[in-house]
Each structure stands twice: as C-alpha cells, then as structure tokens.
Amino acid sequence: MSEIIRAPKGVPDYAQNDGIEFLAIRDSLSEPIMLAGYQYIELPIYEDTNLYVRGVGESTDVVSKEMFTFSDRGDRSITLRPEGTAGVMRAVIEHGLDRGQLPVKLWYAGPFFRAERPQAGRYRQLQQIGIEAIGVDDPALDAEVIAIAYKGFKNVGLKNFTLKLTSLGCAKCRPAYRKLLQEFLAKLNLDEATRARASINPLRVLDDKRQEVQSQLADAPLQVNYLCEECISHYNQIRDYLRLFGVQWEEAPRMVRGLDYYTRTTFEFDHPQLGAQSGIGGGGRYDGLMSELGGQNLGGIGFGLGVDRTLLAARAEGLAIGDKSIADIYLIPLGDAAKNQVIELISQLRTNGLRADMAFGDRGLKGSMKSADKLAAKCVVVIGDGELDSKIVNIKRMADGKTVESSFEELDSNIKKLIEEK
C-alpha cells in the first residue's frame, strides 16, 4: 500500500461537520457586508512581490519574515497573498474603479498565506473575509466599516469579544510623534535588531510581545496624546457615529496593527477565550496607500475578519453553529423501477428549492435509513412497488416520526409544510 499523503503543516481542512460550521461562520460574517451595499471582488491568489513590499511595508513581520515568495518561470518574484488590502487597491487602480462613483465599496473572501509557526488559531493558510471602502474621507464611513464587522460577529452569536479602538494620527501629526518616540526608544536597553526596527518604524517596537521589551515601554509616549486638531475631530466624530450604530468599544491607545499602511482610525476585535491568538479581526484607515502604489491620493478604510479564529471563538463559547442537516428529504428506492421514479422526483424537488438526496448503491431499507440518519435528513420517503402503483407516498419527519401522506405532484409542498411546522 502506498504511503498516505497528508495536507501540508499549518493548512487546515474543513470537512463534514467542520465544513458545515465553516460555511455558517463565513455566511454570518458576510451577510452584513452585502446588506451595506459592498460589491464582491475576486482577487488573485498571488501578486508581484513589490505590491506587498511597497504596500504593506518592509519593516513589518509580514514582509520581512512571513511571506511565501518564489520566482516564476520568467524569473519574476511572486508572493502568495498575505493580506487583501494591497491587492484590492492594486485592482482599483488598474481598472480605474476610483474614477467612478465614490466611495468604491468592495468585499472579498478566501485563503491568505503566512509562513507562520503553526499552532492553534495560527495557520499558514488562513481564511479571511474583508472589505475596503475607498475614496471618501468621512468619519461616518469609518464607523460603518467598524459597525459591519461588529454586526458580523454578533450574527455568529459571539458575546465575549471586545472591540479595541484608537487613532494613529495622520501625515501632519505623525512625524513629530515619530521623532518623540524614537528619542524615547534610543534611551532603552534594546538589542540591535530592535533598534534597527525602531529606525525604520518605531511603532513596531510598541507591538513587541517580549516581556523584556514591554517592561521598558510603560512610559512610552502614545500617538493618541499627540494628535492634531483634525485627527482629534475625526476620532471624536467616529465615536459619536459608533454610538448611533449601537457599537460598544474600549479605548486602546497602545494598540499597533501589524501593517505599516494604517493611519488614523485603527481597530481590533479580541476574544480572550482564544488565549495567545485572541485577535479575530481588525483593520483601519490607510490614507497614503493608493498614492504609494501609483494611484490617486485617495484614502480608504477596511478590515479583515478571520474565519478560522471566529470558528474557534464560537466553539469556545459553546455555540451551535450551522445546520447539521445535509438534506431536507432523503428518498429510498426499493427496486429498479422505483429508482427511476426517485431520480425524476429528486430533479423536481431540487428545482423547487429542496435539498434532496437518495440512497445510492441499491442498498436495502435498513442500510438506507442509517444513511439518512448520518446525513441528518429532515424527512424520508420510501418508494416501492405499492407507491409506484398508487402514486402516493408517506413522508416521515425524522425528528419525531410524524408521517404525512402525499401524492407525487404535491410532494415538494408537503415536505416544506412538514419541515416548517412547529
């Protein structure tokens, strides 16, 4: 026997009940996005490496340590997408979407790739849903984006998450703060690699998780205390709009996101029951990103929500996730003639919106009923010679054993009534 080939390390499979729960989480997170008028965009799985070097930032861990980068047959440097915003911005510029109606409101979903050390909640292939609203600098739009993510987690049923919020300032007030922070960091006992990081982007040091670094940062200056008047006004308006949206948050002046393009509004959703990997989503504004990538000087705001981690959070809270029933109706043919009739009925039922399946492989009644149980079918119909002659069947509801008589012609409507009946 040949050796079994397994999935690469850090790449999760979602099959059977896991697949049902994964889809339920993804759909719950997506619903508020579509209700808010965002259009779907399908992004390439890989892009020119320079897109991420320029767009995400060389000083970030994502670019310096975590990207899957390789050369294609033309010796061009290609990278599997580690995040979605840079790719969306590239597409907006390339296709001139910023020349039409503003804001450009887009959403996307799918796998992203990081060369991580795999552990619970930290994967090399991670699944995300994201949105980007580009071209309008309106605090109300910032609040809408945050509220959509908040509603998505509420849709899932999560109760124990926290929204953390801050402002990272703008091009006007950040340079003075950057200089102040660099002067503070220069006095600390830091290793050479950390000092080099501070010279490129001192904010990255604030995000250092090592205790020997964090213990020296207690008195570090915080950007939120050095905002210009415009940023203060912008941040105050966002908080007013969030109250109108019914969103609750915590101030997080020390929060630093892992990507260099963030400006002003910055936020993160945290779920403490997940331990070290507690971030389930986040985002912020990126007002200089489009011009950095060769487009107009238009700002934007967006988020990325982790489907994998949201699923883990839902399980941690003990939530019932998704409908485990695979079929509304499971038909069991007894004999060749019955099999032909069942195939016709399945086509009819599916056309009328019912999830219909049948017993394949000419199994007997007992084995077929076991299959119906494994599929968690809501109803079962058995068709043999008697049913073929009379054109009448009994629909059995599996939850309580109730049966309803039905003609072939009215089978779909009677199944729906039985399923919906309280």
**Of all residues in the chain, what percent carry a pLDDT higher than 70?**
98
Tell me where in the chain the CATH 3.40.50.800 domain(s) lie. Answer: 329-420
Mean confidence (pLDDT) of the chain: 92
pLDDT value at 259 more than 80: no
pLDDT value at 254 more than 80: yes
pTM over 0.85: yes
pLDDT at 260: 66
pLDDT at 76: 94
pLDDT at 119: 83
β pairing state of 250-251 and 329-333: unpaired
Per-residue pLDDT band for 205 (boundaries 50, 70, 90) equals confident
Give dist(CA 191, CA 189) in Å, integer: 7
pLDDT in tens, 75-96: 999 999 999 999 999 999 999 9
pLDDT value at 366 more than 90: yes
pLDDT value at 258 more than 70: no
pLDDT at 59: 63
Cα distances (angstroms) measured from residue 35 to each of 107, 144, 152, 244: 12, 12, 11, 18
Level-2 CATH architecture, domain 329-420: 3-Layer(aba) Sandwich (3.40)
pLDDT in tens, 280-307: 999 999 988 899 899 999 999 999 999 9
Q: Which of 269, 232, 314, 393 is nearest to 17 (CA)?
A: 314
Give dist(CA 271, CA 249) in Å, integer: 13
pLDDT value at 355 more than 80: yes
Give dist(CA 153, CA 281) in Å, integer: 10
Average of pLDDT values for 154-176? 93
Q: Is the separation of the CB atoms in 129 and 305 below 8 Å? A: yes
Per-residue pLDDT band for 256 (boundaries 50, 70, 90) equals confident
Average of pLDDT values for 347-376? 94
The answer, yes or no, to whether the previous bond of 118 is cis (omega within 30 of 0) is: no
The class (CATH top level) of 17-169+248-316 is alpha beta
CB-side neighbour CA atoms (13 Å) of 272: 5
Angle (CA) 251 194 287, round 5°: 50
Per-residue pLDDT band for 64 (boundaries 50, 70, 90) equals confident
pLDDT at 56: 81
Tokens 């296709």 found at: 95
Where is pLDDT greater, at 64 or 243?
243
Per-residue pLDDT band for 337 (boundaries 50, 70, 90) equals very high
Tell me where in the chain the CATH 3.30.930.10 domain(s) lie. Answer: 17-169+248-316
Describe the strand order of the beta sheet including 279-285 as a list of residue ranges: 39-40, 104-113, 125-134, 300-306, 279-285, 263-270, 162-167, 250-251
Give dist(CA 294, CA 240) in Å, integer: 34
Angle (CA) 361 413 354, round 5°: 45
Q: Which of 122, 104, 105, 103 is nearest to 113 (CA)?
A: 122
Whether the CA torsion 101, 104, 108, 114 is positive or negative: it is: positive
